[in-house]
């Protein structure tokens, strides 16, 4: 293999390792983002439940006030009964008392139903708040892990970047420009081996004459299909 190709293969190895480490770094927050999203969704649901609780409290107060007023009215109607002489008026007051009692029973039932619903909502809120507290602990642990892992990756990347700079100095400027161009276009895979006349990256066969020329290993050559820099794998 030509010396410049050996250098490019080494450079490509460093660049691919840097890409890999940066990808790991980018993926570090994925789990944390999922936990934070889950927390936000739970908090939104808690807010809705609390709004519903507030509405139920308001309704409960309204019904209790109505019950108190109607209970007072019932007492007055019952007191009135003892002084009524007219049978027709007696029947009217009796009917009024029965209607008040019926309405008050409905109010009492509604209050009980509201209280049961409120207890259920409170239990649900408490459960979800416990879940959020657990999520917060997990998020804190993940943040610490991410900080440490990211710092470790940064150290590795910086070390590789320094090594890369030294290796890149050995590449001719025109070949380096071609390398950079292809690296951007080919996801970092610039140099490809050709095995038995076939490019290992694009799997296209080289024309026989071109392959024979590549075997002579006299100059830098490019795959006519994917444009990558190529070198021949020679059987030992």
What confidence tens digit (pLDDT) does each residue in 39-95 have?
Answer: 999 999 999 999 999 999 999 999 999 999 999 999 999 998 888 888 889 899 999
- Closest C-alpha to 221, from 180, 185, 178: 178
- Closest C-alpha to 158, from 18, 6, 9: 18
pLDDT greater than 80 at residue 27: yes
What long-range pairs does 141-144 form, CB within 8 A, spacing at least 24? 142/31, 142/32, 142/35, 143/32
Mean pLDDT rounded to a whole number for the chain = 94
Q: Which residue has the tokens 């691919």?
A: 16
What is the average pLDDT across 153-165? 97
Q: Kindly tell me the burial class for residue 182, based on how many C-beta atoms sit within 10 Å of its own C-beta (0-12, 13-18, 19 or more).
A: buried
What is the average pLDDT across 1-16? 94
pLDDT at 235: 58
Give the confidence band of 190 by pLDDT, cuts at 50, 70, 90: very high
Domains assigned to the chain: 25-166 (1.10.287.1490), 173-233 (no CATH)
Q: Which residue has the tokens 């080919």?
A: 186
pLDDT greater than 60 at residue 30: yes
What confidence tens digit (pLDDT) does each residue in 93-143 have?
Answer: 999 999 999 999 999 999 999 999 999 999 999 999 999 999 999 999 999
Structure tokens at 132: 């959020």
Give the confidence band of 236 by pLDDT, cuts at 50, 70, 90: very low
């Amino acid at each position: 293999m030509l010396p410049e190709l050996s250098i490019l293969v080494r450079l490509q190895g460093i660049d691919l390792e840097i890409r890999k480490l940066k990808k790991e770094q980018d993926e570090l927050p994925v789990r944390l983002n999922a936990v934070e999203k889950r927390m936000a969704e739970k908090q939104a649901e808690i807010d809705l439940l609390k709004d519903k609780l507030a509405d139920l409290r308001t309704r409960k107060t309204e019904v209790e006030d109505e019950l108190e007023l109607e209970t007072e009215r019932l007492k007055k109607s019952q007191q009135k009964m003892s002084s009524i002489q007219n049978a027709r008026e007696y029947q009217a007051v009796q009917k009024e008392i029965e209607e008040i009692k019926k309405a008050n029973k409905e109010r009492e039932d509604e209050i009980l139903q509201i209280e049961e619903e409120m207890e259920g909502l409170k239990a649900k809120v408490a459960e979800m708040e416990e879940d959020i507290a657990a999520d917060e602990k997990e998020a804190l642990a993940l943040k610490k892990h991410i900080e440490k892992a990211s710092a470790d990756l940064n150290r590795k990347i910086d070390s590789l970047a320094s090594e890369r700079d030294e290796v890149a100095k050995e590449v001719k400027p025109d070949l380096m420009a071609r390398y950079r161009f292809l690296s951007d276009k080919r996801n970092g895979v610039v140099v490809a081996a050709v095995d038995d006349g076939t490019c290992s990256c694009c799997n296209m066969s080289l024309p026989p004459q071109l392959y024979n020329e590549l075997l002579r290993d006299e100059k830098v050559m490019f795959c006519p299909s994917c444009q990558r820099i190529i070198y021949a794998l020679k059987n030992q």
